[in-house]
A and B are shown apart, each in its own frame.
Chain A
Amino acid sequence: MSNLAFSREYLDRRSFIELDARQRAKSLLDAGTGRELAGPFDRIESPWLAIQGVTPQADDGCIVIRGTIDSRQTVVIAFNGAFQGGGIGEVSGAKLTAALDLACRDNENGKPTSAVLLLETGGVRLQEANLGLAAVSEIISSIIALRRYAPVISVIAGPVGCFGGMSLAAGVSSYIVMTPEGRLGLNGPEVIEEESGVEEFDASDRSLIWSIFGGQQRHDQGLADVLVDDDADQIATTIRDLIVKGVPAIHRSEQVDLYRSRIAALDTSTQWDPSLVHSLASSHLVRHNFSEGGGAAEADDK
Protein backbone atom coordinates (compact mmCIF):
# COMPACT_ATOMS: atom_id res chain seq x y z
CA MET A 1 0.00 0.00 0.00
CA SER A 2 1.27 3.40 -0.89
CA ASN A 3 0.06 4.83 2.43
CA LEU A 4 2.11 2.29 4.31
CA ALA A 5 5.12 2.91 2.10
CA PHE A 6 4.72 6.62 2.66
CA SER A 7 4.57 6.35 6.43
CA ARG A 8 7.55 3.97 6.48
CA GLU A 9 9.57 6.46 4.47
CA TYR A 10 8.33 9.26 6.69
CA LEU A 11 9.27 7.43 9.88
CA ASP A 12 12.68 6.35 8.59
CA ARG A 13 13.84 9.73 7.44
CA ARG A 14 16.08 11.83 9.66
CA SER A 15 14.58 15.26 10.17
CA PHE A 16 17.00 18.14 9.64
CA ILE A 17 14.73 20.68 11.34
CA GLU A 18 14.67 18.68 14.56
CA LEU A 19 18.46 18.85 14.84
CA ASP A 20 19.92 21.75 16.81
CA ALA A 21 22.28 24.17 15.06
CA ARG A 22 25.47 22.29 15.99
CA GLN A 23 24.03 18.93 14.96
CA ARG A 24 22.80 20.43 11.69
CA ALA A 25 26.28 21.70 10.84
CA LYS A 26 27.91 18.37 11.71
CA SER A 27 25.31 16.41 9.72
CA LEU A 28 26.56 18.09 6.52
CA LEU A 29 30.29 17.51 7.03
CA ASP A 30 32.26 14.36 6.25
CA ALA A 31 32.26 12.23 9.41
CA GLY A 32 34.96 13.20 11.89
CA THR A 33 36.19 16.27 9.99
CA GLY A 34 34.31 18.98 11.91
CA ARG A 35 36.35 21.38 14.08
CA GLU A 36 34.44 24.11 15.89
CA LEU A 37 35.96 27.61 15.93
CA ALA A 38 35.18 30.06 18.75
CA GLY A 39 33.00 27.46 20.50
CA PRO A 40 31.04 27.81 23.74
CA PHE A 41 34.05 27.17 26.00
CA ASP A 42 35.88 30.09 24.39
CA ARG A 43 33.08 32.21 25.89
CA ILE A 44 32.97 34.85 23.21
CA GLU A 45 29.54 36.04 24.27
CA SER A 46 27.62 39.26 23.73
CA PRO A 47 28.76 42.04 26.09
CA TRP A 48 25.46 43.90 25.55
CA LEU A 49 22.75 41.50 26.64
CA ALA A 50 23.44 41.12 30.37
CA ILE A 51 23.38 44.89 30.93
CA GLN A 52 19.90 44.87 29.38
CA GLY A 53 18.75 42.03 31.63
CA VAL A 54 18.94 39.33 28.96
CA THR A 55 20.88 36.13 29.64
CA PRO A 56 23.69 35.71 27.09
CA GLN A 57 24.63 32.40 25.44
CA ALA A 58 28.22 31.16 25.47
CA ASP A 59 28.45 30.88 21.65
CA ASP A 60 26.14 33.87 21.02
CA GLY A 61 23.89 31.59 18.98
CA CYS A 62 26.38 31.31 16.09
CA ILE A 63 28.21 28.04 15.50
CA VAL A 64 31.20 27.93 13.15
CA ILE A 65 32.55 24.53 12.11
CA ARG A 66 35.37 23.90 9.62
CA GLY A 67 35.58 20.54 7.90
CA THR A 68 35.16 18.88 4.54
CA ILE A 69 32.17 17.98 2.38
CA ASP A 70 32.98 15.33 -0.21
CA SER A 71 36.64 15.89 0.80
CA ARG A 72 36.43 19.60 -0.18
CA GLN A 73 37.26 22.26 2.41
CA THR A 74 34.10 23.90 3.71
CA VAL A 75 33.08 26.13 6.59
CA VAL A 76 29.54 25.71 7.92
CA ILE A 77 28.05 28.58 9.94
CA ALA A 78 24.82 27.72 11.74
CA PHE A 79 22.48 30.06 13.62
CA ASN A 80 20.55 28.83 16.59
CA GLY A 81 17.00 30.09 16.10
CA ALA A 82 16.05 29.23 19.69
CA PHE A 83 18.40 31.89 21.11
CA GLN A 84 17.05 35.41 20.56
CA GLY A 85 15.28 34.23 17.39
CA GLY A 86 18.68 33.68 15.77
CA GLY A 87 19.17 37.46 15.84
CA ILE A 88 22.45 38.90 14.60
CA GLY A 89 24.41 40.72 17.30
CA GLU A 90 27.90 42.15 17.38
CA VAL A 91 29.54 38.85 18.30
CA SER A 92 27.48 36.43 16.21
CA GLY A 93 27.85 38.78 13.23
CA ALA A 94 31.61 39.03 13.74
CA LYS A 95 31.90 35.23 13.95
CA LEU A 96 30.07 34.82 10.64
CA THR A 97 32.08 37.57 8.93
CA ALA A 98 35.40 36.24 10.22
CA ALA A 99 34.54 32.71 9.10
CA LEU A 100 33.73 33.96 5.59
CA ASP A 101 36.88 36.11 5.47
CA LEU A 102 39.07 33.18 6.53
CA ALA A 103 37.51 31.10 3.77
CA CYS A 104 38.14 33.95 1.32
CA ARG A 105 41.79 34.16 2.37
CA ASP A 106 42.17 30.39 1.96
CA ASN A 107 40.80 30.67 -1.57
CA GLU A 108 43.23 33.50 -2.35
CA ASN A 109 46.05 31.28 -1.09
CA GLY A 110 45.06 28.50 -3.48
CA LYS A 111 43.04 26.43 -1.03
CA PRO A 112 39.47 26.24 -2.38
CA THR A 113 36.99 26.62 0.48
CA SER A 114 33.21 26.88 0.22
CA ALA A 115 30.77 28.23 2.81
CA VAL A 116 27.38 26.95 3.92
CA LEU A 117 25.13 29.24 5.98
CA LEU A 118 22.37 27.58 7.98
CA LEU A 119 20.08 30.55 8.50
CA GLU A 120 17.46 30.54 11.24
CA THR A 121 17.23 34.21 11.98
CA GLY A 122 14.79 37.06 12.34
CA GLY A 123 17.58 39.45 11.28
CA VAL A 124 19.25 42.05 13.44
CA ARG A 125 18.99 41.47 17.21
CA LEU A 126 17.07 44.47 18.53
CA GLN A 127 19.15 44.75 21.74
CA GLU A 128 22.22 45.38 19.57
CA ALA A 129 20.47 47.15 16.73
CA ASN A 130 23.20 49.44 15.36
CA LEU A 131 25.97 46.89 15.80
CA GLY A 132 23.74 44.25 14.25
CA LEU A 133 23.06 46.46 11.22
CA ALA A 134 26.78 47.09 10.83
CA ALA A 135 27.35 43.33 11.09
CA VAL A 136 24.83 42.64 8.32
CA SER A 137 26.63 45.03 5.96
CA GLU A 138 29.95 43.32 6.76
CA ILE A 139 28.38 39.90 6.22
CA ILE A 140 27.04 40.93 2.80
CA SER A 141 30.45 42.35 1.77
CA SER A 142 32.19 39.17 2.90
CA ILE A 143 29.75 36.92 1.04
CA ILE A 144 30.25 38.94 -2.16
CA ALA A 145 34.04 38.73 -1.75
CA LEU A 146 33.97 34.97 -1.16
CA ARG A 147 31.43 34.03 -3.84
CA ARG A 148 33.90 34.99 -6.60
CA TYR A 149 36.03 32.01 -5.61
CA ALA A 150 33.70 29.40 -4.19
CA PRO A 151 29.99 28.86 -3.73
CA VAL A 152 28.29 30.39 -0.69
CA ILE A 153 25.19 28.28 -0.04
CA SER A 154 22.36 29.49 2.19
CA VAL A 155 20.05 26.87 3.68
CA ILE A 156 16.71 27.98 5.14
CA ALA A 157 15.22 24.87 6.69
CA GLY A 158 12.87 26.33 9.32
CA PRO A 159 11.08 26.70 11.57
CA VAL A 160 12.29 30.30 12.22
CA GLY A 161 13.11 31.12 8.62
CA CYS A 162 15.25 34.00 7.40
CA PHE A 163 14.08 37.60 7.67
CA GLY A 164 15.26 41.18 7.90
CA GLY A 165 18.85 42.03 7.00
CA MET A 166 19.79 38.38 6.80
CA SER A 167 17.33 37.86 3.94
CA LEU A 168 19.61 40.27 2.02
CA ALA A 169 22.61 38.12 2.97
CA ALA A 170 20.75 35.06 1.68
CA GLY A 171 19.89 37.01 -1.47
CA VAL A 172 23.55 37.62 -2.36
CA SER A 173 24.62 34.04 -1.74
CA SER A 174 25.36 31.75 -4.68
CA TYR A 175 22.50 29.35 -4.02
CA ILE A 176 19.50 29.23 -1.70
CA VAL A 177 18.20 25.86 -0.51
CA MET A 178 14.82 25.76 1.27
CA THR A 179 12.45 23.20 2.73
CA PRO A 180 8.68 23.72 2.51
CA GLU A 181 8.83 24.63 6.23
CA GLY A 182 11.42 27.36 5.65
CA ARG A 183 10.39 30.99 5.17
CA LEU A 184 12.22 33.82 3.45
CA GLY A 185 11.26 37.48 3.48
CA LEU A 186 12.51 40.99 4.22
CA ASN A 187 9.74 42.13 6.57
CA GLY A 188 8.22 39.32 8.60
CA PRO A 189 4.45 38.83 8.99
CA GLU A 190 4.22 40.60 12.38
CA VAL A 191 6.15 43.60 11.09
CA ILE A 192 3.86 43.97 8.06
CA GLU A 193 0.74 43.69 10.22
CA GLU A 194 2.16 46.21 12.69
CA GLU A 195 3.09 48.69 9.96
CA SER A 196 0.19 48.32 7.52
CA GLY A 197 -2.70 46.81 9.44
CA VAL A 198 -4.32 43.40 9.66
CA GLU A 199 -6.21 44.03 6.38
CA GLU A 200 -2.87 44.09 4.59
CA PHE A 201 -1.47 41.01 6.31
CA ASP A 202 -2.96 38.82 9.04
CA ALA A 203 0.08 37.56 10.94
CA SER A 204 -2.02 34.94 12.75
CA ASP A 205 -2.94 33.22 9.45
CA ARG A 206 -0.31 30.52 9.13
CA SER A 207 -1.44 29.25 5.74
CA LEU A 208 -1.21 32.82 4.40
CA ILE A 209 2.27 33.22 5.89
CA TRP A 210 3.62 30.07 4.28
CA SER A 211 1.86 30.70 0.97
CA ILE A 212 3.73 34.03 0.71
CA PHE A 213 7.06 33.40 2.48
CA GLY A 214 7.28 29.59 2.37
CA GLY A 215 9.87 27.50 0.57
CA GLN A 216 7.43 26.21 -2.07
CA GLN A 217 6.39 29.73 -3.10
CA ARG A 218 9.95 31.07 -3.03
CA HIS A 219 11.15 28.18 -5.17
CA ASP A 220 8.28 28.58 -7.65
CA GLN A 221 9.16 32.29 -7.88
CA GLY A 222 12.76 31.44 -8.69
CA LEU A 223 13.99 33.11 -5.50
CA ALA A 224 15.20 29.79 -4.05
CA ASP A 225 17.24 27.44 -6.20
CA VAL A 226 16.41 24.10 -4.62
CA LEU A 227 13.36 22.94 -2.67
CA VAL A 228 14.12 19.86 -0.61
CA ASP A 229 12.21 17.84 1.99
CA ASP A 230 13.06 18.06 5.67
CA ASP A 231 15.50 15.15 5.37
CA ALA A 232 19.08 15.48 6.64
CA ASP A 233 20.46 13.06 4.03
CA GLN A 234 18.70 14.81 1.13
CA ILE A 235 19.88 18.20 2.33
CA ALA A 236 23.47 16.95 2.67
CA THR A 237 23.33 15.49 -0.86
CA THR A 238 21.90 18.74 -2.25
CA ILE A 239 24.67 20.80 -0.68
CA ARG A 240 27.37 18.42 -1.86
CA ASP A 241 26.00 18.65 -5.42
CA LEU A 242 26.00 22.47 -5.29
CA ILE A 243 29.59 22.57 -4.00
CA VAL A 244 30.63 20.25 -6.84
CA LYS A 245 28.72 22.48 -9.29
CA GLY A 246 30.79 25.44 -8.10
CA VAL A 247 30.31 29.15 -8.61
CA PRO A 248 27.28 29.96 -10.83
CA ALA A 249 27.95 31.71 -14.16
CA ILE A 250 25.92 34.67 -12.91
CA HIS A 251 24.62 35.29 -9.42
CA ARG A 252 20.95 36.05 -8.81
CA SER A 253 21.80 39.44 -7.26
CA GLU A 254 23.76 40.46 -10.39
CA GLN A 255 20.54 40.26 -12.44
CA VAL A 256 19.55 43.79 -11.61
CA ASP A 257 17.66 44.49 -14.84
CA LEU A 258 15.67 41.28 -14.62
CA TYR A 259 14.44 41.91 -11.11
CA ARG A 260 13.91 45.62 -11.69
CA SER A 261 11.67 44.80 -14.65
CA ARG A 262 9.74 42.30 -12.56
CA ILE A 263 9.11 44.94 -9.91
CA ALA A 264 8.17 47.53 -12.54
CA ALA A 265 5.56 45.15 -13.97
CA LEU A 266 3.74 44.73 -10.67
CA ASP A 267 0.20 46.09 -10.46
CA THR A 268 -0.27 47.39 -6.92
CA SER A 269 -3.75 48.82 -7.49
CA THR A 270 -5.44 45.66 -6.20
CA GLN A 271 -4.82 43.53 -3.11
CA TRP A 272 -2.60 40.58 -3.89
CA ASP A 273 -3.23 37.06 -2.74
CA PRO A 274 -0.91 34.06 -2.81
CA SER A 275 -2.31 32.64 -6.07
CA LEU A 276 -1.74 35.96 -7.85
CA VAL A 277 1.81 36.12 -6.52
CA HIS A 278 2.33 32.60 -7.73
CA SER A 279 0.87 33.05 -11.22
CA LEU A 280 2.80 36.25 -11.88
CA ALA A 281 6.01 34.90 -10.50
CA SER A 282 5.73 31.77 -12.60
CA SER A 283 5.04 33.68 -15.79
CA HIS A 284 8.13 35.82 -15.18
CA LEU A 285 10.22 32.94 -14.11
CA VAL A 286 13.73 32.77 -15.44
CA ARG A 287 15.80 30.09 -13.87
CA HIS A 288 19.11 31.41 -15.05
CA ASN A 289 21.50 29.25 -13.09
CA PHE A 290 20.10 25.94 -14.11
CA SER A 291 19.32 26.25 -17.79
CA GLU A 292 21.95 23.71 -18.74
CA GLY A 293 23.45 20.63 -17.18
CA GLY A 294 21.90 18.15 -14.80
CA GLY A 295 22.32 19.94 -11.48
CA ALA A 296 20.57 19.14 -8.25
CA ALA A 297 18.12 21.97 -8.73
CA GLU A 298 16.96 20.70 -12.06
CA ALA A 299 16.35 17.24 -10.72
CA ASP A 300 14.40 18.81 -7.90
CA ASP A 301 12.21 20.78 -10.30
CA LYS A 302 10.49 17.66 -11.60
Chain B
Amino acid sequence: MEQFEFSYPARRKIQKPAHVGVVGSGDLEVLLEPIESTTALVRVRTSVDGFKNTWKTVLDRFFSQYDGLVHIEINDAGATPGAVSLRLQQAVEASEA
Protein backbone atom coordinates (compact mmCIF):
# COMPACT_ATOMS: atom_id res chain seq x y z
CA MET B 1 0.00 0.00 0.00
CA GLU B 2 1.25 3.52 -0.79
CA GLN B 3 0.12 6.88 0.48
CA PHE B 4 0.46 10.25 -1.30
CA GLU B 5 -0.57 13.80 -0.55
CA PHE B 6 -1.26 16.52 -3.11
CA SER B 7 -2.43 20.11 -2.84
CA TYR B 8 -4.08 22.41 -5.36
CA PRO B 9 -5.01 26.08 -5.40
CA ALA B 10 -8.73 26.56 -4.73
CA ARG B 11 -10.99 29.37 -3.56
CA ARG B 12 -14.65 28.37 -3.68
CA LYS B 13 -16.21 27.34 -0.38
CA ILE B 14 -18.41 24.26 -0.52
CA GLN B 15 -21.36 23.51 1.74
CA LYS B 16 -21.66 19.78 2.25
CA PRO B 17 -19.42 16.75 2.63
CA ALA B 18 -19.92 13.75 0.36
CA HIS B 19 -19.01 10.08 0.60
CA VAL B 20 -19.14 7.79 -2.45
CA GLY B 21 -17.78 4.44 -3.51
CA VAL B 22 -16.39 1.39 -1.79
CA VAL B 23 -12.91 -0.05 -1.25
CA GLY B 24 -13.75 -3.09 -3.39
CA SER B 25 -11.66 -4.66 -6.12
CA GLY B 26 -11.23 -2.17 -8.99
CA ASP B 27 -13.13 0.50 -7.08
CA LEU B 28 -12.38 3.22 -4.55
CA GLU B 29 -13.94 5.30 -1.80
CA VAL B 30 -13.93 9.11 -1.90
CA LEU B 31 -14.54 11.30 1.17
CA LEU B 32 -14.91 14.95 0.25
CA GLU B 33 -15.24 17.62 2.97
CA PRO B 34 -15.17 21.42 3.19
CA ILE B 35 -11.85 22.77 4.51
CA GLU B 36 -10.88 26.11 6.08
CA SER B 37 -7.77 26.84 4.06
CA THR B 38 -6.51 28.45 0.90
CA THR B 39 -5.63 25.20 -0.83
CA ALA B 40 -7.41 21.96 -1.52
CA LEU B 41 -5.75 18.85 -0.08
CA VAL B 42 -5.91 15.31 -1.36
CA ARG B 43 -4.71 12.22 0.47
CA VAL B 44 -4.53 8.99 -1.51
CA ARG B 45 -4.08 5.51 -0.05
CA THR B 46 -3.84 2.83 -2.72
CA SER B 47 -3.31 -0.91 -2.58
CA VAL B 48 -1.42 -0.84 -5.90
CA ASP B 49 2.16 0.44 -5.62
CA GLY B 50 4.08 2.36 -8.27
CA PHE B 51 1.45 4.65 -9.82
CA LYS B 52 2.13 8.01 -8.17
CA ASN B 53 2.56 9.80 -11.50
CA THR B 54 -0.73 8.43 -12.77
CA TRP B 55 -2.51 9.64 -9.61
CA LYS B 56 -0.95 13.09 -10.04
CA THR B 57 -2.06 13.24 -13.68
CA VAL B 58 -5.65 12.24 -12.84
CA LEU B 59 -5.85 14.74 -9.95
CA ASP B 60 -4.18 17.55 -11.96
CA ARG B 61 -6.85 17.11 -14.59
CA PHE B 62 -9.66 17.02 -12.00
CA PHE B 63 -8.45 20.25 -10.32
CA SER B 64 -8.04 21.97 -13.71
CA GLN B 65 -11.87 22.01 -13.73
CA TYR B 66 -12.74 22.14 -10.03
CA ASP B 67 -11.95 24.89 -7.54
CA GLY B 68 -13.72 23.72 -4.38
CA LEU B 69 -11.89 24.27 -1.06
CA VAL B 70 -11.99 20.63 -0.05
CA HIS B 71 -10.13 17.94 1.77
CA ILE B 72 -10.40 14.76 -0.27
CA GLU B 73 -9.47 11.34 1.04
CA ILE B 74 -9.24 8.50 -1.42
CA ASN B 75 -9.08 4.86 -0.30
CA ASP B 76 -8.31 2.86 -3.41
CA ALA B 77 -8.42 -0.86 -4.21
CA GLY B 78 -6.98 -0.77 -7.71
CA ALA B 79 -9.42 1.45 -9.61
CA THR B 80 -8.50 2.48 -13.17
CA PRO B 81 -7.88 6.20 -13.89
CA GLY B 82 -11.31 6.37 -15.57
CA ALA B 83 -13.03 4.94 -12.52
CA VAL B 84 -11.15 7.41 -10.27
CA SER B 85 -12.31 10.37 -12.38
CA LEU B 86 -15.93 9.17 -12.33
CA ARG B 87 -15.91 8.71 -8.54
CA LEU B 88 -14.43 12.21 -8.08
CA GLN B 89 -17.16 13.69 -10.28
CA GLN B 90 -19.78 11.70 -8.39
CA ALA B 91 -18.47 13.06 -5.08
CA VAL B 92 -18.66 16.63 -6.40
CA GLU B 93 -22.21 16.06 -7.63
CA ALA B 94 -23.23 14.62 -4.26
CA SER B 95 -21.68 17.56 -2.39
CA GLU B 96 -23.47 20.10 -4.57
CA ALA B 97 -26.83 18.32 -4.83
User: Max chain A CB contacts within 10 Å: which of B25, B29, B33, B47?
Assistant: B29
**Nearest-CB residue, chain B, relative to A53:** B1
SS of A interface (majority): loop
Taking CB atoms, residues of chain B closer than 8 Å to A200 are none
B67 at the interface (CB under 8 A from A): no
Partner of A82, one of B19, B22, B47: B22
A54 at the interface (CB under 8 A from B): yes
Taking CB atoms, residues of chain A closer than 8 Å to B47 are 53-55
Tell whether A58 pairs with B1 under 8 Å between CB atoms, given A83-B22, A83-B23. no
**Nearest-CB residue, chain A, relative to B28:** A55
Give the complex CA separation of A150 and B45 in angstroms.
Answer: 41
Interface code B26-39, partner A: CB below 8 Å = 1, 0 otherwise? 01010101000000
**Nearest-CB residue, chain B, relative to A82:** B24
Partner of B24, one of A40, A54, A56, A83: A83
Quick check: B29 and A20 within 8 Å, CB to CB? no
A263 at the interface (CB under 8 A from B): no
Quick check: B45 and A50 within 8 Å, CB to CB? yes
Tell whether A40 pairs with B31 under 8 Å between CB atoms, given A55-B75, A55-B76, A58-B75. yes
**Nearest-CB residue, chain B, relative to A45:** B75
Range of interface residues on chain A? Answer: 10 to 19
Q: How far is the CB of A57 from chain B (nearest CB, A)?
A: 4
Taking CB atoms, residues of chain B closer than 8 Å to A56 are 23, 45, 75
- B1-32 contacts to A (CB < 8 Å): 1, 17, 19, 22-25, 27, 29, 31
Quick check: A55 and B19 within 8 Å, CB to CB? no
Give the complex CA separation of A128 and B31 in angstroms.
Answer: 25
Interface code A162-202, partner B: CB below 8 Å = 1, 0 otherwise? 00000000000000000000000000000000000000000
A6 at the interface (CB under 8 A from B): no
Taking CB atoms, residues of chain B closer than 8 Å to A80 are 22, 24
A272 at the interface (CB under 8 A from B): no
Taking CB atoms, residues of chain B closer than 8 Å to A53 are 1, 47
Quick check: A57 and B27 within 8 Å, CB to CB? no
Give the complex CA separation of A41 and B73 in angstroms.
Answer: 10
Taking CB atoms, residues of chain B closer than 8 Å to A41 are 17, 19, 31, 33
- A80-111 contacts to B (CB < 8 Å): 80, 82-84
Q: Which 9 A-B pairs have the closest CB atoms?
A: A82-B24, A57-B23, A82-B22, A53-B1, A40-B19, A55-B47, A55-B75, A83-B23, A55-B45
A residues at B contact (CB < 8 Å): 20, 39-41, 50, 53-58, 61, 80, 82-84
Since A40-B19, A82-B25, A83-B23 are in contact, a sample of 20 more A-B pairs with Cβ atoms closer than 8 Å, ordered by chain A residue number, is A20-B22, A39-B19, A40-B29, A40-B31, A41-B17, A41-B33, A53-B1, A55-B47, A55-B75, A55-B77, A56-B23, A56-B45, A56-B75, A57-B22, A58-B19, A58-B73, A58-B75, A80-B24, A82-B24, A83-B24
A-B pairs with beta carbons under 8 Å apart, 6 shown: A41-B31, A41-B33, A56-B23, A58-B19, A82-B22, A82-B24
